[in-house]
Structure 1
Amino acid sequence: MTAGSIVLVRHGRTAYNAAMRLQGQVDIDLDEVGQWQAETSAKVLTEIIAPTRILTSDLNRAIATARTIGACYGVEPIIDKRVRERSFGPWEGMTGEEISARWPEEFAAWRGGSEPTTVGIELKRDVAERMCAVILENAAQMADSETLMVVSHGAAISCAIAGLLGQDATSWRGVAGMSNVHWSRLARNTSPGAEPAWRLEQHNVGPSVVYGKKAWENGPADVFVAL
């Protein structure tokens, strides 16, 4: 027995997102735009997805997003630190320019898809392992008619998708990044003996398709102008 589908949701915008600072495991709150994004996406989600269990990272930006969404369903999110963002060690809180100035070779390698060697930066395969472990652990406790929702972070979600699709998270770059409070949906592969066990049905879906990417990222003022 296992859940029939898994929905991975990225948290709302923070001040670090707006300033293009690498967040990692820095525990920063949603900003006003991020809360608006969570509320707006929650309304859309209730029209198309009905999760019976919501799992969330223990970082505040994810908890606030999960609670906003969960309130629409009457579901209290379960907090688990295993779905928190990838650790970027000493790079956290810095802009790309700041990182490049201090670690030029490693930053260039990272931007090219390689793993940085700076102490304290978590390996993608380790992120995929912890993410998949807790996701599958929770999914196994659910019926095949049920949906598990996981509110997490951009890098962590990419690693989880790679792991659930049977790919090597270290080298596989088969999906683009996630917008704030957008989601990806995986369905259990029910064909006998089929591999992998999960298939990706949707990726980076959300209200930006209606509002436009710039208006979604910058918040209500730009949305109202755009409309």
Structure 2
Amino acid sequence: MHGESSRGRRIVLWRHGQTAWNREQRFQGTTDIGLNAAGVEEARRAATALAALTPDAIITSDLRRAAATAERLSALMRLPAVPKTGLREAYTGRWQGLTHQEIVNRYGEEYAAWKRGEPVRRGGGELDTEVAERAVPIVERYAERLPEHGTLVVVSHGGTIRATVGRLLGLRPSKWLSLGGLSNCRWHVLSQESSGWRLSVRNAGAPQEAEFGEG
């Protein structure tokens, strides 16, 4: 068995709290939507739980919904939450602001191809691999700076977290969607072992009033 003393570094990838667009099932992408009242409360509760992991560093997407979520943990730990534009959600072009059903109705073939794991510029936006190419080096750089057995918290978005985890686990991009969704204000944990990173905890955190994907 692996005891606490034998674990390596740890990365916690934490999705932001709920927004009005999450409730309406609208794709947010890089649109800068703030938390709603439920999202603020989710962030407060989740930050209390994450503080028990005694993070050594916090980095966050600079979009308001992520930065405001990170701030709850930052205040508890008295650690700066360092904003990084590279941790923003995927830019999804014409899909941004549309509901899930509107996307299916207007861009059904494109949506189906993406769900099959094909490389798709959703709405003319970024490929998932391009999201990984901008986010993963930031996460790796901060993880490398951790002390032995240290913990990094990354506050970001559903799509960006999925791409980051897929790349760090060495999965083929066509398989990244198999990781599933990440609910608002919940998190994955990657643990460092001699063979590389492994997904040790998936979609952790208290169940929310409602579960919304993407963005």
Relative to the length of structure 2, the TM-score reads: 0.89
> Quick one: structure 1 residues 118 and 162, their matched pair in 2 at CA, closer, same or farther if it must change by over 3 Å?
closer
Q: Which residue number corresponds to residue 66 of structure 1?
A: 70
CA shift for structure 1 position 112: 3.5
Residue number among 143, 146, 151 corresponding to 1:147 in the alignment: 151
Q: Which residue number corresponds to residue 45 of structure 1?
A: 50
Q: Which residue number corresponds to residue 107 of structure 2?
A: 103
Amino acid at match of 1:199: R
Contact 2:74/2:81 (8 A) holds in 1: yes
Helix, strand or coil at the partner of 2:183: coil
Deviates more, 1:56-65 or 1:117-126: 117-126
Q: Deviations over 1:50-75 (max 9, x none)?
A: 11110000100000000011111111
> Quick one: structure 1 residues 54 and 160, their matched pair in 2 at CA, closer, same or farther if it must change by over 3 Å?
same
Contact 1:207/1:216 (8 A) holds in 2: no
Question: Which of structures 1 and 2 has the bigger CA Rg?
Answer: 1
Q: Deviations over 1:3-35 (max 9, x none)?
A: 711110000000000000001110000000000
The unaligned stretches of length 5 or more in structure 2 are 1-7
> Quick one: structure 1 residues 117 and 164, their matched pair in 2 at CA, closer, same or farther if it must change by over 3 Å?
closer
Helix, strand or coil at the partner of 1:86: coil
The alignment of Structure 1 onto Structure 2 pairs a total of residues equal to 205
Percent identity between the two aligned chains: 38
The unaligned stretches of length 5 or more in structure 1 are 219-227
Q: Which residue number corresponds to residue 3 of structure 2?
A: none
Contact 2:59/2:81 (8 A) holds in 1: yes
Establish whether residue 169 from structure 1 lines up as the match of residue 173 from structure 2.
yes
Contact 2:92/2:121 (8 A) holds in 1: no
Q: Which residue number corresponds to residue 225 of structure 1?
A: none
Amino acid at match of 1:38: A
Q: Which residue number corresponds to residue 20 of structure 2?
A: 15
CA distance in 2, matches of 1:170, 1:83: 21
Helix, strand or coil at the partner of 2:177: coil
CA distance in 2, matches of 1:45, 1:119: 35
Relative to the length of structure 1, the TM-score reads: 0.84
Contact 1:5/1:146 (8 A) holds in 2: yes
Q: Which residue number corresponds to residue 5 of structure 2?
A: none
Helix, strand or coil at the partner of 1:93: coil
